[in-house]
Amino acid sequence: MRYVLLSFAVGLCWLVTSAPADVTSDCLVCHAGALAERRPDGSVRSLHVDGQKFFLSQHGGEGCLGCHGELGLGPHDLAAGRLPAIDEQYAPFLQGLSTSRQIALNNCMGCHKEAAVGYMASDHGQARKAGSEIAPLCDSCHGNHYISSLDDLESPVGIDQQVDTCASCHADQKVMAQVQLGTHVVETYDLHFHGRKRLIGDRRVAVCTSCHAPAENAHTILKPGDPQSTVNPANVDQGCGRAGCHPGVGEKFALSFGHEVPSFQVRPIVFLIGKVHYFLMSLVLGVMFIHIFLDITRRRLNYRRAARAALAAQAAREDEAGGHA
């Protein structure tokens, strides 16, 4: 493996000459620099980690080994080294990944067992287990080195960014075509009540997982047709009807909130009202612009006429004054 080593030599000297201090600082001696690796296909992969941002993240206290435990100090020859112990129950979800990613994700799941249980039961987890290369894993939604608290504006899964994170796959035609799913879900979310309120800054509205997963575990996202799915009208008390949202509503209410695009066949009344609204708005705006145009033209004409009359009157006065002299 060939790699670009900008801080490697310095790091090695430093490691050899200094007493073994905190391991994370040791890792950062090399990785805080502009370290990168050239892949066999010629592309370059950055191996840089911003130490300051890392220490400020939720995992600053866990240190690098919290996730990269079995990796050991670099350069890391995992192929030749011992095989890491991957938990049996997580292994089927991690097949086909690089050893380093398997170790890291195995550790995410080990520390966050509840999230892992929800993930493994979800459609995403099941697809991953069945060999899907496009189904998300922990780091697809959360990132890796700079994971913030869920309340943070920058959290990719919090209320401010979650829609964009789901959209990175669910609005991507190339990805969704592979699983025969539509990319309409994000666009329709933005158009419906919750999406509109979110766009004007309301932080209480439902985002994707508010409807698609139970309140106690955002990871258990199931197919809408699954009898356990929270968007299945049979489970309305766990979906729309959950505490803090619309308690007490029935199945009919649940059926009215999906992603369908209104048409003559689906919700014709909504579709027709939309069309009439569009027509009336165009008419009113059109007439308004014509009115403004005519008004401005009239005013300019009047102004010119008045100016001409004033000039004529002045000329007449001057003529009169000349005649007297």
Enumerate residues 149-178 that contact ligand HEC by CB under 6 A.
149-150, 157-158, 162-163, 165-166, 168-170
d(CA 93, CA 125): 7
Out of 70, 136, 220, 242, point to the residue binding ligand HEC (CB under 6 A): 136
Query: C-beta of 273: minimal distance to ligand HEC in Å?
Result: 19
Residue closest to ligand HEC when measured from CB atoms: 74
Binding mask of the shown chain, residues 184 to 203, with x at each position contacting ligand HEC by CB under 6 A: -xx--x----x---------
Distances (CA, A) of 226 to 3, 121, 229, 234: 47, 12, 5, 10
Find how far residue 284's CA is from the centre of its chain.
37
Binding mask of the shown chain, residues 262 to 301, with x at each position contacting ligand HEC by CB under 6 A: ----------------------------------------
Contacts of 316 (CB under 8 A, 6+ apart): none
* 169, two tokens: 């796959």
Query: C-beta of 187: minimal distance to ligand HEC in Å?
Result: 9
Nearer to ligand HEC, 30 or 320 (CB): 30
Nearer to ligand HEC, 256 or 298 (CB): 256
Binding mask of the shown chain, residues 229 to 248, with x at each position contacting ligand HEC by CB under 6 A: --x-----------------
Nearer to ligand HEC, 86 or 104 (CB): 104
Q: Are 168 and 216 in contact (CB under 8 A)?
A: no
Query: C-beta of 305: minimal distance to ligand HEC in Å?
Result: 60
Contacts of 195 (CB under 8 A, 6+ apart): 163, 188, 189, 205
Query: C-beta of 141: minimal distance to ligand HEC in Å?
Result: 3
Q: Are 243 and 235 in contact (CB under 8 A)?
A: no
Contacts of 22 (CB under 8 A, 6+ apart): 63
With contacts defined by CB under 6 A, name the span among 60-68, 81-89, 283-291, 300-308 that binds ligand HEC: 60-68
Q: Does residue 36 touch ligand HEC according to CB under 6 A?
A: no
Q: Is 279 exposed, middle or buried (0-12, 13-18, 19+ CB in 10 A)?
A: exposed
Out of 6, 84, 112, 267, point to the residue binding ligand HEC (CB under 6 A): 112
Distances (CA, A) of 254 to 114, 183, 193, 227, 239: 27, 21, 14, 14, 8
Query: C-beta of 277: minimal distance to ligand HEC in Å?
Result: 22
Out of 87, 154, 202, 260, point to the residue binding ligand HEC (CB under 6 A): 260
Nearer to ligand HEC, 149 or 302 (CB): 149
How many residues of this chain bind ligand HEC (CB under 6 A)? 95
Find how far residue 140's CA is from the centre of its chain.
11
d(CA 207, CA 31): 36
Q: Does residue 221 touch ligand HEC according to CB under 6 A?
A: yes
The phi-psi region of residue 73 (left if phi > 0; otherwise alpha if psi is between -120 and 50; otherwise beta) is beta
Nearer to ligand HEC, 77 or 320 (CB): 77
Contacts of 201 (CB under 8 A, 6+ apart): none
Residues in the chain: 325
The footprint of ligand HEC on residues 62-91 (CB under 6 A) is: 62, 64-68, 71, 73-76
Nearer to ligand HEC, 73 or 295 (CB): 73
Nearer to ligand HEC, 49 or 86 (CB): 49
